[in-house]
Amino acid sequence: MMRKHFCLTLAFILIGVIGLAQNIPARPNPPRLVNDFAKILTDEQVQTLENKLVQFNDTTSTQICVVTINSLDGTTSNDYAQRLGEKWGVGNKEDNGVVILVKPKTVEESGDCSIQTGYGMEEYLTDAVCHHIIYDVLIPAFKENDYYGGIVKACDDIIALSTGKFTAAQYTEDDEEWTTKTYVGLALFILIAGVFLIAILLSIISVFTGRGGGKSGGSSYRGGGYGGGSSSWGGGSSSSSGGFGGFGGGHFGGGGASGKW
């Protein structure tokens, strides 16, 4: 009986995995780097972005693949983007592919997006960098319903990072600076509040133990937090009239980030 239950469980798992693989769109033919299955971009926007990414691929061999979908089919955006990148073979033999996946927000569901990187891109697009692009570039634009603007800016930043215009550390230094300032501000607030509370306690004790024995008044303290901002860099854009030659391999190790809005 236990063996039968085990076999049934394994069968359901295999069916689920196969079903997910089948729900991922087939590799486009002819191949394209911009695949707007959710129809959130205009034809002109798709072609302009396609030209930019084709020229970048022709110049560097790095492939940035943009995919929009209507449903994640019950999985996470990270898992979906990784599986799509591997199924399509985004990148080449150096595994220098990047997948930007966008599921737009609807009345019923929140929006979801992910950036997944091939092994060869993890040096340039660390998890921290991908998190920065998701939350400081893509989602703010998506909240304004500017899908094209957010995707183009993200692509520009990825191009600049992968070509060495700035490093991953430079790209995220504003985040690190904000984090440092936050911790310093919080520490100062705790220190000042602690000193103030100790002074109040000493005052109360002196009233009850002193010779006056009079009534003591209350005191309150209202503290504030410490906030900061972050910024992101932008890159130039270009276009090419040539066509995309196709995907050439691509292995994805799960590096990247995702976010919802």
Q: Domains of the chain: which residue ranges?
A: 26-166+233-260, 169-231
Angle at 105 between CA 104 and CA 111, to 5 degrees: 80
Q: Residue 159: which H helix or E strand, with range?
A: helix 147-162
pTM of the model: 0.69
pLDDT band at 242 (very low <50, low <70, confident <90, very high): low
What is the model's pLDDT at position 29?
A: 92
Per residue in 10-45, pLDDT (tens digit) is 443 443 444 444 589 999 899 999 999 999 999 999
How far apart CA 171 and CA 175 sit, in angstroms, is 9
Q: What is the DSSP letter of 26?
A: P
pLDDT band at 174 (very low <50, low <70, confident <90, very high): low
Residue 95's Cβ-count burial label (10 Å; 0-12, 13-18, 19+) is: buried
Task: Take residue 111 and report the two structure tokens written for it.
Answer: 């929006």
What is the model's pLDDT at position 221?
A: 30
For domain 26-166+233-260, is the CATH number 1.10.10.10? no
Q: What is the DSSP letter of 64?
A: E
Per residue in 107-130, pLDDT (tens digit) is 999 999 999 999 999 999 999 999
What is the model's pLDDT at position 13?
A: 42
Name 50's Cβ contacts closer than 8 Å, sequence gap at least 6.
32, 33, 34, 244
Average pLDDT, the chain: 79
Does residue 228 carry a pLDDT above 70?
no
Per residue in 83-95, pLDDT (tens digit) is 999 999 999 989 9
How far apart CA 247 and CA 88 sit, in angstroms, is 7
| Residue 65 bridge partners (DSSP) | 99
What average pLDDT does range 192-213 have in this prediction?
71
What average pLDDT does range 64-70 have in this prediction?
98
Strand, helix or coil for residue 261? coil
